[in-house]
Amino acid sequence: MKEFCLGTFDAAVIGAGHAGCEAALALARTGLKTAILTLNLDSIAFMACNPSIGGTAKGHLVREIDALGGEMGVNADATALQIKMLNVGKGAAVQSLRCQSDKNAYHARMKNVLENTRNLRIIQSEAAEITVVNGEVTGIKTTDGGVINCRAAILCTGVYLNAQTITGDVIKKSGPNGFSAADALTENLINLGFTVRRFKTGTPARVDFRTIDLSKLTPQYGEDNVGPFSFLNENPPANKQPCYLGYTNLATHKIILDNLSRSPLYNGTIESTGPRYCPSIETKVVRFSDKERHQIFIEPEGENTLEAYVQGMSTSLPHDVQIEMYRTVEGLENADIMRFAYAIEYDCIDTLDVYPTLEFKKVRGLYTAGQINGTSGYEEAAAQGLMAGLNASLKLRGLPPLVLGRDEAYIGVLIDDLVTKGTEEPYRMMTSRAEYRIELRQDNADFRLTQKGYECGLVTKERYAKFTARKTAYDNALKFMQSYTFPPALTERLLNAHGFERAAGALSYADLIKRGIPAEKIYAELGTPGFPHGVLESAEIFIRYEGYLKKNAEQIARAKNYENKLLPENLNYLKIEGLRLEAREKLNKVQPRSLGQAARISGVNPADIAVLTVWLSLNGAHVKN
């Protein structure tokens, strides 16, 4: 095949899903000439599974992406069908935004953003080879002979590598939604030194909205008094369409159990590892055999389509079983399936071979992000894509990398988990993974990260001006609420209503909030301070959790003592005889940046860290502070 030049670029991104879009935008927006390859222009930012953005912990990721200068939050706000806050009955640390998205509008808007971004060129083609000279990326070759010259490449291949869809006994070489699979690149990745594994995920059927009896389902409406995802936006998206709640039943479960021998998950057809936290309906019925029903949600896929997504009933059962199974659900008795459910298997890598910058350890200038790293979810992918693209940009510009700590962002927790612990199954972000989650709230994502994004060149002047104005307003609101006081006569009724005795002296807004009185009750009695809603919310949260935040800060300071002790690069841990064999092998594979990271490696215990510290001191390889 005759080769031809597709152009010379600073960097190229392989894949245009949620990771690829953020990676390409991070590169191009920081001034680097960038190419992004996609198998199909129609699959750019495509929502192959649930048409939604955010959710528990995932909403935190979207806010952080936005605070750093990414696009996902802006795109989600612009194309939302409804938005709501999850976990409102729990603490602020675990409350998360979630929106139902217009699937086609989300794709179309993100594609338009890419098309109109300076320094960015979109190419529909399949990558076949990453060319490497002297351990550095030099370019990409496509399956049709095209050559892209570049100094960095970001792999954002999603679930497309050697993908095959499975429904019953029907196996097809295919990516999601009937898009083509990427069959040419895996062999090259193995030759470059990647450890390649096989994961699986799945999706439920889409049914015709006209054939659903909505009167038998419970409407689930959006909320009007929640904020948007993006700090650039003043108002939340309009709530346009409801979702609907329903349930499986014993008849549903009987059909599934009677046909387990035809399920690829149970007859040995599927051997790859699936997501623990998003199981198929077959798995739920088998695993939770004591439950008589499971929740499902009927979710619209867009304003201009009749397709409805049946969340909670992902399956790979044969088509005839699917028809029978779905129609046992009350409200779906006459439902017509427009797209059948399927499972999909794909190749991914072992992220212990990747640095915290998401650069591959064996090839300089080669980065990975998204589901190729073994994660699941649009938000996890976008977060990695932004960080991989930004770190590639920083390296090409001769600047230090950006590695977020576990105390700085959920993105930091996500990436640290991947490169330190690895994952043996599709990884999903959860609030429980963050030990400092009271600090990593979604309301303060810009306070934590926007300055960093601005210093890296990704946050625009417009975004930075909004950030500084919000930060000033927050500081003023906090000072006002702590200092402005009310005489006892004005607060007596409010205190009595909540079980407190009359105060001896004047009380401030902060004093009342610390007593656990809801802010809305305080404002109804004493008036609302004249600050924007989002600013007041952040101030209220800080006041309410100030004591916990101080303790958190002390824990973070102690942990930083280990994090700031950097380890020598390319240290041969196999020769450190005082370490246990498992610890030697794990340390040698991960090559941790610091003692803190070393201590988090699975299989490395505190005694190993003590031995390692002594060995380094005795052998002259002193830990760098």
Tell the burial category of 451 from Cβ atoms under 10 Å away from its Cβ (0-12, 13-18, 19+): middle
Task: Verify that 214 and 335 share a domain, yes or no.
Answer: yes
Query: What is the DSSP secondary-structure string of 549-614?
Result: HHHHHHHHHHHHHHHTSBPPTT--GGG-TTS-HHHHHHHHHH--SBHHHHHTSTT--HHHHHHHHH
Return the exposure string of 360-396: e unless at least 16 CB atoms fall within 10 Å of the residue's CB, then b: bbebebbbbbbbbbbbbbbbbbbbbbbbbbbbbbbbb
What angle in degrees, to the nearest 10, is found between the helix axes of 58-67 and 445-455?
40
Which residue's entry shows tokens 């005694």? 607
Alpha-carbon span 409 to 431, nearest angstrom = 11
Domain end position, chosen among 503, 534, 555: 555
582: in domain: yes
Same domain? For 333 and 214 the reply is yes
What tokens does 122 get?
Answer: 């979109």
**Which CATH number is 539's domain given?**
1.10.10.1800
Domain count for the chain? 3
One domain, residues 474 and 583: no
Tell me whether residue 20 is in a domain.
Answer: no
Residue 598 lies in a domain: yes
Domain-embedded: residue 163:
no
CATH code of residue 268: 2.40.30.260
pTM value is 0.95
494 assigned to some structural domain: yes
CATH number of the domain enclosing 606? 1.10.150.570
In terms of domains, do 480 and 610 share one? no
Instruction: Please indicate, yes or no, whether residues 246 and 325 belong to a single structural domain of this protein.
Output: yes
217 and 322 fall within a common domain: yes
Residue 625's pLDDT is what? Answer: 44
H or E element at residue 96: strand 96-101
End of a domain among 326, 345, 364? 345
Residue 495 resides in a domain? yes
Mark whether 498 and 611 lie in a shared domain.
Answer: no
Q: Cite the DSSP H helix spans in 331-409.
A: 378-396
For residue 25, the Cα-to-chain-centroid distance in whole angstroms is 17
Is residue 440 in some structural domain? no
Domain boundaries, position 273: 206-345
38 pairs with which residues across the strands? 124
CA angle 272, 275, 279 (to 5 degrees): 110
Q: How far is CA 132 from CA 36, 38, 321, 356, 469, in A?
A: 19, 21, 49, 21, 46
Mark which of 511, 531, 555 sits at the end of a domain.
555
Q: List average pLDDT for each run of 10 residues in the chain, which is 625 residues long.
A: 95 98 98 98 96 96 98 98 94 94 98 98 98 98 98 98 96 95 97 97 97 98 92 91 97 97 93 88 95 97 97 97 98 98 97 97 98 97 98 98 97 97 94 94 97 98 96 97 94 92 92 94 93 93 94 90 86 90 93 92 91 81 50
Same domain, 581 and 602: yes
305 lies in a domain? yes
User: Is 509 found in the same domain as 573?
Assistant: no
Q: Are 253 and 329 part of one and the same domain?
A: yes
Judge if 532 and 587 occupy the same domain. Answer: no
Hey, is 214 helix, strand or coil? Answer: helix
Helix intervals (H) in 427-487: 445-455, 461-483
Q: Which two tokens stand for residue 161?
A: 């590598």
Check whether residue 549 and residue 568 sit in a common domain.
no
State the Cα–Cα distance between residues 247 and 610, nearest whole angstrom.
53
